[in-house]
Copies of this chain bind each other. A is one copy, B any other.
Amino acid sequence: MNIVVAQSGGPTCAINASLLGVFKGAMKSRDIDIVFGSLNGIEGIINDDMIILNDYIRTYMDMEQLRQTPSTLLNSCRYKLPDMSDDKTVYEKIYNTLKNHGIGAFFYIGGNDSMDTVNKISAYLNELGSDIKVIGIPKTIDNDLTCTDHTPGYGSAAKYVATTVQEIVRDCSVYSINSVTIIEIMGRDTGWLTAATAVLRANGEIAPHLIYLPEARFSVQSFLSDIRRVQQSRRAVVIAVSEGIELDPNDIPSEIKNETSDNFGHRYLSGVGKCLENIVRREIKCKVRSIELNIMQRCSSHISSKTDIEEAEQIGTAAVDAALSGLTGKVMVFERVSDNPYTVVINSAEAADVANRVRYFPPEWINAQGNNVTDKAVKYILPLIQGSQDIHYRNGIPMHFRIGN
């Protein structure tokens, strides 16, 4: 039989490693022939827009490069399947593409939206009496999928964030004046990635002095008094803040609100760091800077976590094994056996249980003041950022594997 793999949702550093894991798992199986790659997620299957991956990934060095290439080799999409009862047309198109290409299994690497797709397509195929298997492979830097200890992509993003925040701490501590540096970190709903800045304490770092997650109630007044308190003993205050914290609109001075929300129809969500910067400048009157780590958080594969990338590849291969063993409608997940030595096993969960759900940062890992995380969070995150990839360079720049441009 042949198989098809697709990638969906926002890019990460690990999503191509999972693609490689599927590819290598297929190569090792006598039951699998061609590995198709669907372009633009599920859209490629709907529109029969696929490539034969075996024609592209040919050498050992191709695989090495693919593993260290961020983002999605096969592009991505944000397409949400309609309910089967509403519209069967698109399901029929999917089935036709799979059938016409002799495909026995479809692997979808993505977040909780993609697991919704896995759930729906497998249900449709079951109803049809088809034995085509559908398996989800998790990925998201947000680490917010249920049923799994963590998600591929999170460890690398966490390693980038911690490494970069440490460098920023060095940078902003050199002048002998009071300063506040606010670092805005991704995570619209959950604080997993922002919490990763706390791992610096394992190396004796005191900064970031304050950490704010969406899971804790945020108040501008407490924020300002937190800063004033830290300033009693520190010249340079460094703050990690999740993009997803909610500011009470009444707490935002009107001229700041105008700047950051109204003029161009943006909510302040895209610039909560800038908004807080302006508030601090106005209220505390010291040097203030806000830094948005922006998409570098999800694509800086030059500093990816070896643990993360290896696990991402393993879970891709495990998905192939799961399909071959007859499973369908499942998502592959990690179960942590122990923190030290760090041990995980790969299991599967129902896609229906992962689809469209969010796993929040545990409230018991947030301190009582709501401005930092506990050592339990550090213990959880540390194993996920261990090890560095040996990057292959050409002309001093990491080599990327591309198809087209």
Assess whether B397 is in contact with A200, with CB atoms less than 8 Å apart: yes
* A residues lining the B interface (CB < 8 Å): 11, 40, 43, 69-72, 75-78, 159, 162-164, 166-168, 170-176, 199-200, 202-203, 205-207, 234, 255-256, 258-259, 263-264, 278, 281, 289, 291-296, 298-303, 305, 382, 385-388, 391, 393-400, 405
Assess whether A168 is in contact with B299, with CB atoms less than 8 Å apart: yes
Q: Which of B11, B259, B386, B394 contacts A259 (CB 8 A)?
A: B259
Whether A296 touches B70, Cβ cut-off 8 Å, given contacts A388-B391, A391-B388, is: no
Assess whether A166 is in contact with B400, with CB atoms less than 8 Å apart: yes
Can you spell out 23 A-B residue pairs with CB atoms less than 8 angstroms apart?
Answer: A11-B170, A40-B176, A43-B176, A69-B170, A71-B170, A71-B171, A71-B173, A76-B175, A159-B397, A163-B397, A164-B296, A167-B296, A171-B299, A172-B295, A202-B397, A255-B263, A259-B264, A289-B295, A292-B292, A292-B294, A293-B296, A303-B303, A387-B396
- Nearest Cβ distance between residue A211 and chain B, in whole angstroms? 16
> How many copies, total?
2
The residue in chain B whose Cβ has the minimal distance to the Cβ of A40 is B176
A78 partner residues in chain B, CB cutoff 8 A: 175
Taken together as a complex, chains A and B put the C-alpha atoms of A206 and B184 apart, in Å, by 30
The residue in chain B whose Cβ has the minimal distance to the Cβ of A291 is B294
A258 partner residues in chain B, CB cutoff 8 A: 263
A394 partner residues in chain B, CB cutoff 8 A: 202-203
Taken together as a complex, chains A and B put the C-alpha atoms of A386 and B395 apart, in Å, by 7
The residue in chain B whose Cβ has the minimal distance to the Cβ of A294 is B291
Q: Which of B278, B291, B395 contacts A382 (CB 8 A)?
A: B395
Assess whether A296 is in contact with B168, with CB atoms less than 8 Å apart: yes
- Nearest Cβ distance between residue A248 and chain B, in whole angstroms? 21
Assess whether A162 is in contact with B397, with CB atoms less than 8 Å apart: yes
Taken together as a complex, chains A and B put the C-alpha atoms of A291 and B271 apart, in Å, by 12
Assess whether B393 is in contact with A388, with CB atoms less than 8 Å apart: yes
A164 partner residues in chain B, CB cutoff 8 A: 296, 300
The residue in chain B whose Cβ has the minimal distance to the Cβ of A295 is B171
A69 partner residues in chain B, CB cutoff 8 A: 170
Q: Which of B40, B176, B295 contacts A77 (CB 8 A)?
A: B176
- Nearest Cβ distance between residue A171 and chain B, in whole angstroms? 4
A175 partner residues in chain B, CB cutoff 8 A: 40, 75-78
Taken together as a complex, chains A and B put the C-alpha atoms of A324 and B291 apart, in Å, by 44
Taken together as a complex, chains A and B put the C-alpha atoms of A43 and B174 apart, in Å, by 13
Given pairs A162-B397, A168-B299, A303-B303, 7 additional interface contacts (CB within 8 A):
A163-B302, A259-B263, A296-B296, A302-B303, A385-B395, A385-B397, A388-B391
